[in-house]
A = this chain, B = another copy of it.
Amino acid sequence: DAPVRAATCRAAVLHSVDDLRVEEDPRALPDEPLEGWVRIRMNAVGICGSDVHYLKRGRIGQFVVTAPMVIGHEGAGTVAAVGRGVTTLKLGDRVALEPGVPCCSHPAALKGRYNLAPISFFATPPHHGCLAEYVDHPAAWCFLLPEGVSLEEGAMCEPLSVGVHACRRAGVQPGMRVAVMGAGPIGLVTLLAAKAFGADQVVVTDLKPSNLELATQMGADATVQMSVLQPPAQVAAALTVAAGAPSGVDAVIDCAGFESTMQAALLACASGGRVVLVGMGQEEMRLPLAAAAQREVDILGSFRYANTYPLCLSLLASGRVKVEPLITHRFGFSAEGVAEGFKVAHLCEPGTVKVMFNL
């Protein structure tokens, strides 16, 4: 019965490279959410590498910021208004927002791979994001937080989903020894997911000791520090030794995505294993593919995720996955807070993993 929309409604709006402003939301929210939609008072929104990328470059691949765009896609909040026909949510419910709403009748979606269908995704031009006081979203893409799961954890479902999807693509299960290349936020959630999927061993590699320390704290069975110029065969050897897998690990999930990491991945992977490419470090790479193919080492892509939110919430609720240590910095939703938060995320000094806004 209370008015569901504040007189003013602020959002973090990206105008152009390095021009991010906290100002009135360019979206004109309707008086009520659409049928089947809810209005969310955002409470926790994390910054992702892609957000920083848009801020610093104004584009990612073919997606270009050509008009002011609300930024942010990792969010959770509280139901502030309920559209007609919504029966699954009510005022005050705490929810995590899955940021991409696919075209449901696209063949890929009908076959269960909606991440490959045309999708309207927060903060991917021309779609606005969720670092804003209020966001309208389809109820079916808002997932009720179980008791004990915090709003920040709700926001963390987004990156965690990337790790979960990568593990599904890799077929991680008990009996498998897994290597994760890259220990940035995505590598770390992939480590968490791989342990939750029951991997026997998860070995993590990165260039930076600080990230590897964090990996160890988060449950990595071993870590391998590599350097940029190290021969891939050497990295591969170090990985398999660390994993106790003399004939190769069963899966490698590359969350860095460089030629050097992929070369090492192919060599470190056992015959019949899978190398999953998550990281987008490099567009083209030169790879020893014939030798890999003769061992039926497969290379699988992993793009975003599908059907992960309920699982992420269950993993968090049960404590099988703990994402809080990843949230290394917190800021409020003021002009200064947003500026400072993005600065920290951009600098990404040792010890920085995830920057979170509390709105």
Contacts and interface: CB of A to CB of B under 8 A. Distances in A.
A55 to B, nearest CB: 21
B299 A280 contact: no
Given A104-B104, A196-B174, A320-B198, A284 B288 contact: yes
A357 interface: no
Contacts of A284: 286-290
B107 A104 contact: no
A294 B315 CA distance: 26
B307 A303 contact: no
Given A114-B110, A196-B174, A271-B116, A296 B290 contact: no
Contact of A116 (B140, B262, B295): B295
A310 interface: yes
Contacts of A111: 112, 272, 307
A285 B298 CA distance: 15
Interface string A293-326: 1111111111100110011001100101000000
Interface of A is mostly: mixed
A27 interface: no
A174 B310 contact: no
Contacts of A286: 284-287
Interface in A163-199: 164, 169, 173-175, 196-198
Nearest to A193: B174
Given A280-B290, A303-B293, A174 B200 contact: no
A105 interface: yes
A206 to B, nearest CB: 19
A29 interface: no
A338 interface: no
Contacts of A107: 307, 310
A140 B108 CA distance: 13
A297 B293 contact: no
B320 A174 contact: yes
A175 B115 CA distance: 19
Contact of A138 (B105, B272, B314): B105
B200 A318 contact: yes
Contacts of A294: 280, 301, 303
Given A107-B307, A109-B110, A283-B290, 5 more contacts: A110-B307, A116-B271, A116-B272, A285-B287, A295-B301
17 contacts: A107-B310, A110-B112, A113-B296, A116-B271, A116-B295, A173-B197, A174-B320, A197-B198, A198-B320, A200-B314, A262-B289, A280-B293, A284-B287, A284-B289, A289-B299, A298-B300, A299-B299
Instruction: Report, nearest first, the 5 A-B pairs whose CB atoms are least far apart.
Output: A112-B112, A293-B301, A105-B140, A104-B104, A175-B311
